[in-house]
């Protein structure tokens, strides 16, 4: 099989973690007899520096014609000026929107060898295996916004907006995933306060009633979910929610496996290429120090093999290699407990490459 992947390293630790994920993908392709070609394009802060925009036209058109896209991270203090006209994050948001990537899958499954690395007690996290479906191209991220007035009257607003169709398609995708897992779907909203959540709840309930009555279905308010995600994470299977709630809850959820540096994500639309990235940011404080954990991006690579290239065995091989390396006790700095030795980004990548096998 021949595939072309567009690589968007981005800013901060982005280039470092993407390099390791690419090495893992290349080795996997070699082992299983596939051909993967890569082309790299700028996005985010580095694109602003070079072209004055966060998502240059050339980057976007390359993404459109790729089989899949692998992204590192965008952003950093250099581009953080609140007065700035262009921000690195706009590049990522525009890319998601332009490619119609409305479904952001974020699996959270603590690795058994890392149960002690989580700030939470083992008995709370054991057995956790949650798959978040975060709506990614709507909600408050893409509603109308503006600033008016001056002085004490200076006022800013962001509109949270969802159409029934937008809710329907993400709920349907999440429900289908639940059907292939443990058969439970949780929809998260704030329907006791927000009109937009009341629409979300009505539509979600209708989709489940009409098309997925075989599923166990529950609705949870987002504030309560923030609590339940820590007090009883193992009771959730598939969770579906809007853009901002999903952003916040999945960062919270990353503490279950112990580090943000472990969580991959896939952004899918239909049809077209998927976008694969770690859920962590550009971590400018440790950029260039060989200190970042590349596993989230490597696992995003596994999701790319599975969802965009249809290579299930290959995806599993990558996940097994990561598990083996963790089982053997290797830890990057974010995972090492006090007194434990840690290894660098490159070393972690090399260990995963070496652990890969085709059987």
Q: Which does 89 bind (CB under 5 to 8 A by kind): ligand IPM, Mn ion, none?
A: ligand IPM
Estimate to the nearest angstrom the gap between the alpha carbon of 220 and the chain centroid. 22
Burial label, 120 (beta-carbon count in 10 A; 0-12, 13-18, 19+): middle
Q: Which is nearer to ligand IPM, 31 or 244 (CB)?
A: 244
- Which residue, 77, 64, 72, 19, is CA-closest to 42? 72
Is residue 68 within a helix (H) or strand (E), and if so which, with residue range? strand 68-73
From 141, 162, 217, 276, the catalytic residue: 141
Per CB under 6 A, the segment of 89-97, 125-133, 151-159, 215-223 that binds ligand IPM is 89-97
Q: Which does 92 bind (CB under 5 to 8 A by kind): ligand IPM, Mn ion, none?
A: ligand IPM
From 190, 237, 276, 334, the catalytic residue: 190
| Close Cβ partners of 146 (under 8 Å, ≥ 6 residues apart) | 156, 157
The question of whether 251 is a catalytic residue gets the answer: yes
Least distance from ligand IPM to the Cβ atom of residue 89, Å: 4
| Close Cβ partners of 211 (under 8 Å, ≥ 6 residues apart) | 172, 175
- Which residue, 131, 43, 72, 103, is CA-closest to 271? 103
Contact positions with Mn ion (CB under 5 A) in 247-266: 247
Q: Which is nearer to ligand IPM, 92 or 305 (CB)?
A: 92
Least distance from Mn ion to the Cβ atom of residue 36, Å: 28
From 109, 129, 184, 251, the catalytic residue: 251
Any contact of residue 92 with ligand IPM (CB under 6 A)? yes
Per CB under 6 A, the segment of 85-93, 234-242, 286-294, 319-327 that binds ligand IPM is 85-93
**In whole angstroms, what is the distance from residue 41 CA to residue 25 CA?**
18
- The residue ranges that bind Mn ion (CB under 5 A) are 247
Residues annotated as catalytic (active site), given as ranges: 141, 190, 223, 247, 251
């Amino acid at each position: 099989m021949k595939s072309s992947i567009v690589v968007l390293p981005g800013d901060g630790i982005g280039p470092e973690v993407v390099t390791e994920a690419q090495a893992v993908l290349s080795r996997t392709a070699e082992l299983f007899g596939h051909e993967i070609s890569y082309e790299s394009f700028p996005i985010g802060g580095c694109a602003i520096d070079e072209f004055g925009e966060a998502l240059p036209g050339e980057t976007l058109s390359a993404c459109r014609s790729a089989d899949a896209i692998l992204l590192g991270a965008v952003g950093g203090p250099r581009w953080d000026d609140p007065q700035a006209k262009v921000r690195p994050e706009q590049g990522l948001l525009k890319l998601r929107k332009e490619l119609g990537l409305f479904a952001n899958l974020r699996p959270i499954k603590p690795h058994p060898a890392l149960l002690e690395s989580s700030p939470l007690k083992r008995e709370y996290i054991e057995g956790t295996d949650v798959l978040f479906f975060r709506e990614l191209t709507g909600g408050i991220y893409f509603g109308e916004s503006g600033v008016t007035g001056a002085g004490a009257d200076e006022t800013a607003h962001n509109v949270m907006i969802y159409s029934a169709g937008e809710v329907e398609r993400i709920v349907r995708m999440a429900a289908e995933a639940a059907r292939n897992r443990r058969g439970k779907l949780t929809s998260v909203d704030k329907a006791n306060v927000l009109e937009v959540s009341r629409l979300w709840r009505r539509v979600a309930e209708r989709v489940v009633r009409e098309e997925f009555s075989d599923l166990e279905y529950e609705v949870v308010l987002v504030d309560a979910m923030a609590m339940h995600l820590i007090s009883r994470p193992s009771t959730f299977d598939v969770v579906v929610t809007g853009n901002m709630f999903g952003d916040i809850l999945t960062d919270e959820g990353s503490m279950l496996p112990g580090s943000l540096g472990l969580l991959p994500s896939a952004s899918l639309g239909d049809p077209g290429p998927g976008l694969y990235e770690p859920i962590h940011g550009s971590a400018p404080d440790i950029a260039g120090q060989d200190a970042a954990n590349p596993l989230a991006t490597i696992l995003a690579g596994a999701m790319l093999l599975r969802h965009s290239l249809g290579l299930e065995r290959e995806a599993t091989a990558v996940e097994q290699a990561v598990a083996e390396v963790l089982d053997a006790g290797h830890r990057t700095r974010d995972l090492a407990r006090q007194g434990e030795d840690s290894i660098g980004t490159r070393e972690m990548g090399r260990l995963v490459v070496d652990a890969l096998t085709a059987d």
